[in-house]
Structure 1
């Protein structure tokens, strides 16, 4: 994962098994060679029906089902698991990069208009991107083993796309990526400033022992273990005390586990920079803690 200074630090591999909540999203190991076979079969199915082709409902899968956000004269919609974008257009949906630049670049300006299908995927150990161009039977697959400051796989795929279609008005993708990288780090600074401004000073909390409990969700398959260790209140997701976090008092019955970017990186956690991610508000009924 990327550090705040642009370096990198090795983190533990992110295990995904059938007992993990993300198994449906990234529970398959693959490679560029295999994925090119997979997407070629999808493109073949979009052209003609074949009993040997595993994609039987490709028209429904690739058809636009809802408009994408943001104005566009050319089509920009969402299918079933795929973004649709009629080039020239942005290739931005499902990318973190939209958070780091004022406007995502309109790719392939001056080139022939054609429909692109694309999607990205992220974990703390990787950033990945795929773009399919049915008209030329072209597929771009970018796989990385890094969570960078910004989504490098999206920038690389964008650069390859403009090269592939020989766009006469190519963007300086590297310069845009450098700007996004600086903004990704700056958001951590702004997060800490926002958290400090939102704190109500001079409030008190209950004795730490009163917050100790296993707090379960309504369906009973996920919980947060709040416990005391050496007089410190700590939080462990799913009771995993090897990866626990100290809770510090924020105000009233609200606590925080806020980390710096580099602390978050050392824990191998996704780089969320919204304040709500970092606040734990205990629910009080009378004098009892009844939830969070």
Structure 2
């Protein structure tokens, strides 16, 4: 078993030196300007619709630039005031909000979660409810299954209602013993949101606003839907294999919806630079504008083994010491032979980062304490590879003053080429076990409504317009066409373009199959659906009695 200890903020962490001379900032501006042609090339390689970029050092904005469109159809350019749903960059805000409540005495880092959510009782291991703490769920060290496909559907829709959060978390199966293995889990941040709301008797968006946003004067940041200016929002796009951008449905994660505390904030580059500079105050002499930031930045959980010996998850950030691989959270590692090693020709420095992705949006956020630098890259498309991560690494090399910076276009081209093969790879994997000549059950025997045991999700199986179909929770946007695959199993993999339009990027080959199961009398009573790679068991949906 991997032994984990609390990693206090490094005593040797650099304190702020005297403010750098203007010539130092000027040199950084020159290096960043030199990177801009590479960034434009990275945008073109991935087909990214729009990108907003900002870099701050020692409280001064040294780069702010925008490329492409916030709204392709109306030809509206991305600007510094463009608002983006920031996806998993939300997690740091959630962790810092919890830190303020700890400082107020409303919660305790190490108190069992049952102190705040008495009905928490994990069905596969009831003892977990009394073991897990806020630190565990915020640092992804619970070992519980991810099961993201149970809440995130096609066209950016959230499938489950917020009132099912606790019952769905209770349903999660252990993948690893608690605190033995890092495993990213969005459900745990949803659970953190439940804690916030129960101890304050306010919505998470309201608590966030009063404890964090107002203190930092982040006037363009919110999780509350009514506060989002519609005309300033970057619209969401996906990029087809031929680089055509396609508009998709709006992200519905906001205050009051399930998963809002894992990805529901909207913000701008400017506000996120201010946010980053406030976070970096913990590495400076003097007071910090927010309480207990040292706890937030303490390494808690060893992440997956990479070439970097010191890769830890804090609460809302990955913590590395250069030379390091940046961006191991996202999809890029699966798209390239090896992630680039950043910082091999510069002085070793500590870097904190996080990526964020939702259908139609992709981002990267980095902090470099020694130079008091913040790097923000926001985009409004899922392109061919995670372009913002490549862009952020190009900028990071300039911040680190690398003597021999790596060319990120090489990695971006490799990632984009691999991205275009994903659909065919899924189709080829499914074809290996397809048995079209096996007996196909009569569709009439399969029709009906099948319920997940939590009652949070159901599958409607029906015939419409001469096709055999199913949908999720009765939503037209979640409608899929079923075709016979083998015996009592049906497949719903669409065309390559339609898969991208649907935004179902987390579905591996097994997730495109529904297995209908019979009881002892020969009646079909159950659907078995393997909804993800980081789950020990497939999900079961029981047919509703007539």
Fold conserved between structures, TM > 0.5? yes
Alignment RMSD (CA, Å): 2.0
C-alpha deviation, 1:252, in angstroms: 1.5
Secondary structure, in 3 states, of the residue corresponding to 1:226?
strand
Give the equivalent residue in structure 1 for 2:261. 24
Kindly indicate whether residue 268 of structure 2 is the aligned counterpart of residue 34 of structure 1. no
Kindly indicate whether residue 247 of structure 2 is the aligned counterpart of residue 13 of structure 1. no
Per the alignment, do residues 237 and 121 of structure 1 end up closer, same or farther by CA in structure 2, a change over 3 Å counting? same
User: Matches of 2:338 and 2:373 in 1, distance apart?
Assistant: 26
User: Matches of 1:239 and 1:49 in 2, distance apart?
Assistant: 55
- Asked if structure 2 preserves the Cα contact closer than 8 Å seen for 1:45 and 1:53, the reply is no
**Aligned residue pairs: how many?**
289
User: Matches of 1:53 and 1:275 in 2, distance apart?
Assistant: 48
User: Matches of 1:129 and 1:225 in 2, distance apart?
Assistant: 38
User: Matches of 1:84 and 1:53 in 2, distance apart?
Assistant: 22
In the superposition, the TM-score normalised over structure 1's length comes to 0.91
Give the equivalent residue in structure 1 for 2:224. none
Give the equivalent residue in structure 2 for 1:53. 289
Give the equivalent residue in structure 2 for 1:115. 350
Secondary structure, in 3 states, of the residue corresponding to 2:428?
helix
Secondary structure, in 3 states, of the residue corresponding to 1:198?
coil
Instruction: State the Cα deviation string for residues 230-255 of structure 1 (Å, max 9, x = none).
Output: 34221212210244111111112211
User: Matches of 2:463 and 2:308 in 1, distance apart?
Assistant: 57
Unaligned 5+ segments in structure 2 are 1-237, 528-546
Unaligned 5+ segments in structure 1 are none
Instruction: State the Cα deviation string for residues 228-279 of structure 1 (Å, max 9, x = none).
Output: 2134221212210244111111112211110232111233x13236202211
User: Matches of 1:108 and 1:261 in 2, distance apart?
Assistant: 38
Aligned counterpart in structure 1 of residue 297 of structure 2, from 32, 57, 62: 62
Kindly indicate whether residue 385 of structure 2 is the aligned counterpart of residue 150 of structure 1. yes
Instruction: State the Cα deviation string for residues 26-70 of structure 1 (Å, max 9, x = none).
Output: 2111111111122222111354674x723x332232112221212
Aligned counterpart in structure 2 of residue 87 of structure 1, from 322, 327, 341: 322
Per the alignment, do residues 59 and 288 of structure 1 end up closer, same or farther by CA in structure 2, a change over 3 Å counting? farther
Give the equivalent residue in structure 2 for 1:202. 437
User: Matches of 2:401 and 2:283 in 1, distance apart?
Assistant: 25
Give the equivalent residue in structure 1 for 2:405. 170
C-alpha deviation, 1:135, in angstroms: 1.4
- Asked if structure 2 preserves the Cα contact closer than 8 Å seen for 1:108 and 1:169, the reply is no
- Asked if structure 2 preserves the Cα contact closer than 8 Å seen for 1:185 and 1:261, the reply is no
Secondary structure, in 3 states, of the residue corresponding to 2:355?
strand
In the superposition, the TM-score normalised over structure 2's length comes to 0.50
- Asked if structure 2 preserves the Cα contact closer than 8 Å seen for 1:32 and 1:141, the reply is yes
Give the equivalent residue in structure 2 for 1:3. 240
Bigger relative contact order, structure 1 or 2 (CA pairs below 8 A, ≥6 apart): 2
